[in-house]
Structure 1
Amino acid sequence: MFLEEWRDAAYNCFSSGHKFCREVCPVMQVTRNESWSPTAFHANVVAMEKGELEVSDVAADYVNCTGCGACELRCPNSLFTGDFYRFRTRTVDLVKAMRGLAVSEGVHQPGWQRWNRLTDQNSHEPVLDGVSQERVRDWADGLDLPVGGETILFVDCEAAFHRTSLPRAVARMLNLAGYTFGLMNEQWCCGGPAAEMGYGEQAQRFARHNLDDWRAHGVRRVLVLDPHDYITFTEDYPRYFGEEFDIEVVLVIELLASMVREGVLTPHVPVERSVTYHDPCRLNKRKGIWQEPRELLRSIPGLDFRDVDRVTQWSSCSGAGGGLAIEKPELTAKISAARVDKALELGVDTLVTACPWAERPLSEVGTIGVVDLHELLAESLGVGEP
């Protein structure tokens, strides 16, 4: 079944032979390992169809992908060049499918297996010690937010437990704007990380729980601050549930940009920093969302914003996506260091991002300040926390 589904995709990549994808791949940039290139991921399928390889021979290679999607953007097949190529390259989906095939055949990566076992036990990812269902709303202490309602704010595991100042900043800005929202009754992990690592059954079980919880409490709209959740809710959940999934999914960055644009929120406190922006892969490359973050940065008084064009940023990544940071943290660290080096070339003192998962490895490089866009905006709106 797997080979039937992916045969054409593999041959379309293998036969074209362009390999433009390699130079924008964050893993290839720091390793130069051809076995970990987007081209190799497709070539392996060709070899499997010919009986030359088994999934157990290559499963470990598929760890080396952040799921950023840069390879797809650079592929001539995806660009529909001339009349030759009329095929959408889907390397990210292929990597996820191969990881799922490996798990189904009992081929596990130790870090991923442990991570998903703990996630299954605790209903949340083990982003730090002591993660539990009882603590998922601790970040909102003192904010007097209701549970349930037509609109709720979904706070991913990293932000809910490790980066609590981020959702607090978001809640304060929404309250300042008079925007009515609540919190989820019993929030579990979105399931996206499990799906990316090949644990599809667990991912769908978590998704089922969340959707049922939303329905039971009258939720019609879900606000998300994390790009990974946004991908999961707008791509995975509709695929799991079809027409049953009729929940509106709203990215907080886009909502805040519209509020600033319409004058509902007006940044007025000067923020004296020189900054550049790191596009989260799942916003810029995967979803085409790049204008709104820049609108917000340009609205903040005192900010010296030194930008590079969005296409240039297709080759930039923090290395934190696709489970890479869990199985190979040392490789994520190299990718983050390369990203920070690009920022330093612009002469800035701060790298701004809009993804809590990217913020941790970028901050650990230690040679530049790293701040989340939501928190930077909250500071300029006068509702930031020390």
Structure 2
Amino acid sequence: MTDSEPCSPAGAGGPAGDGDRRSPATAEFLADWRNAAYNCFSSGHKFCREVCPVMQVTRNESWSPTAFHANVVAMEQGELTVEDVAEDYVNCTGCGACELRCPNTLFTGDFYRFRTRTVDLVKRVRALAVESGVHQPGHRRWNELTEQRAHEPVLGDVPVSQEHVRDWAHGLGLPVGGETILFVDCEAAFHRTSVPRAVAQILRLAGVEFGLMGEQWCCGGPAAEMGYRDQARRFAEHNLADWRAGGVRRVLVLDPHDYVTFTEDYPAYFGDAYDVEIVLVVELLAKLIEDGTLTPTVPVPRTITYHDPCRLNKRKGVWQEPRRVLRAIPGLTFHDEDRVTQWSYCSGAGGGLPVERPELTARISGSRMDRAAALEVDTLVSACPWSERPLAEAGRARSIDVVDIHELLAESLGIEVGGSTGR
């Protein structure tokens, strides 16, 4: 059997054969995803279920990774349509834990011939729904406002608009343009302004030369995750054109969501024409500490644990560098999570879930903070501005502070950050 052949007799014909009246978009979707869905459905394993943050707090089998693939099987058999199942696919954070736990990934080389890509499947079903005129009200409104403002409608004290996207840098004297720029995500630019201020001042202390974009728009990643692919592509084209016009060769990224978008979505859009180097700031900072360029000396008397952002640890394999940064800060008492299970934790803040299901995000964040509380810490440290809002709300009920890793390092370097913490 080749990769292009169906995985079961039912997949070879049936409702998808002669006389099929499916839309071209649905037919294309099923052609792309039939094999992967049958391989997941036929294996029968549910290892993915127990590490799924949504399943952990809801126990709703319809929102499990297995169900997401089973729905495709049912669509291929003509039993369901995208209109029947679209709402279920809201209930995914895009964390990727299910993919790491799937035996398709663990047992490569035998009959598990496909790496399960549940995150991509969820994005693709959401896109098919949007293309079919099926919208989730929260996602639709969020992307309408993003389209109008060129930035996500985050809640904060600064008005969300192009005019205010660089307000966080007031007084820092940062230039516009240059071969290296710092890209600041919407949440940090308009709400968590102390985070980019910390990053900018640390980079300046280390002698890293950088500027800001001429006209920065949202990266487009959230639109892509919610199914609004055309909008995501337009935003990506704008940002890349701005980089090229300014002679940008390297983009420094502080937010894991932007990092995934710039290293996965943009290469898929632009292919070999995309020749911009993307650098994750926390990895750069770990290197600068290791080579002695940065030396934290101010003690920070906190008892902490570290929250691995899903898009760093699970999606990109970045987990060592943040811990190197934290272990270089004097005064910290660091209680790390169990490394066997830590990658299964999630804040619930990804994949558009807090836009459509804020109460579910709150439950997932609460569960995450319960694990932190069991370690008897007073601070949870994250490297993702988007995770820090729901985690901070959950932390207040448990007397646990939530601090961004860049802010913590700045404090130990003697930097007065300023700006809004969003807390």
Structure 1 length-normalised TM:
0.99
Confirm or deny: 8 A CA contact 1:290 1:310 kept in the other structure.
no
For residues 385 and 230 of structure 1, what CA distance do their matches in structure 2 show? Answer: 23
Q: Partner of 2:414: helix, strand, or coil?
A: coil
- Hey, what does 1:65 align to over in structure 2? 92
Shift of 1:87: 1.3
- Hey, what does 1:200 align to over in structure 2? 229
For the aligned residues, what is the CA RMSD? 0.8
For residues 389 and 41 of structure 2, what CA distance do their matches in structure 1 show? Answer: 36
Shift of 1:197: 0.1
Picking from 304, 313, 332, the partner of 1:303 is 332
**Gaps spanning 5+ residues in structure 1: where?**
none
- Hey, what does 2:281 align to over in structure 1? 252
- The sequence identity of aligned pairs, in percent, is 77
- Hey, what does 1:239 align to over in structure 2? 268
For residues 222 and 315 of structure 1, what CA distance do their matches in structure 2 show? Answer: 29
- Hey, what does 1:209 align to over in structure 2? 238
- Hey, what does 1:83 align to over in structure 2? 110
For residues 227 and 39 of structure 1, what CA distance do their matches in structure 2 show? Answer: 26
Letter in 2 for 1:333: A
Deviations 1:90-121 (CA, angstroms, capped at 9, x unpaired): 00000000000000000000000000000000
Shift of 1:314: 1.8
For residues 178 and 300 of structure 1, what CA distance do their matches in structure 2 show? Answer: 20
Q: Superposed, which structure 2 residues align to 1:309-320 within 5 Å? A: 309-320=338-349
Deviations 1:117-161 (CA, angstroms, capped at 9, x unpaired): 000000000002620000000000000000000000000000000
- Hey, what does 2:371 align to over in structure 1? 342
Shift of 1:82: 5.6
- Hey, what does 1:371 align to over in structure 2? 403
Bigger Rg over Cα = 2
Letter in 2 for 1:115: W
- Hey, what does 1:53 align to over in structure 2? 80
Letter in 1 for 2:64: S
Q: Partner of 1:182: helix, strand, or coil?
A: coil
- Hey, what does 2:137 align to over in structure 1? 110
Paired residues in the alignment total 386
Letter in 2 for 1:38: P
- Hey, what does 1:12 align to over in structure 2? 39
User: Structure 1 residue 99 and structure 2 residue 129: aligned?
Assistant: no
Shift of 1:311: 3.7
Letter in 2 for 1:192: G
For residues 215 and 281 of structure 2, what CA distance do their matches in structure 1 show? Answer: 21
Letter in 1 for 2:383: A
Shift of 1:78: 1.1
Picking from 35, 51, 57, the partner of 1:30 is 57
Confirm or deny: 8 A CA contact 1:375 1:384 kept in the other structure.
no
Letter in 1 for 2:133: G
Confirm or deny: 8 A CA contact 1:151 1:182 kept in the other structure.
yes
**Gaps spanning 5+ residues in structure 2: where?**
1-27, 419-423
Q: Partner of 1:7: helix, strand, or coil?
A: helix
Confirm or deny: 8 A CA contact 1:36 1:61 kept in the other structure.
yes
Shift of 1:85: 1.2
Structure 2 length-normalised TM:
0.90
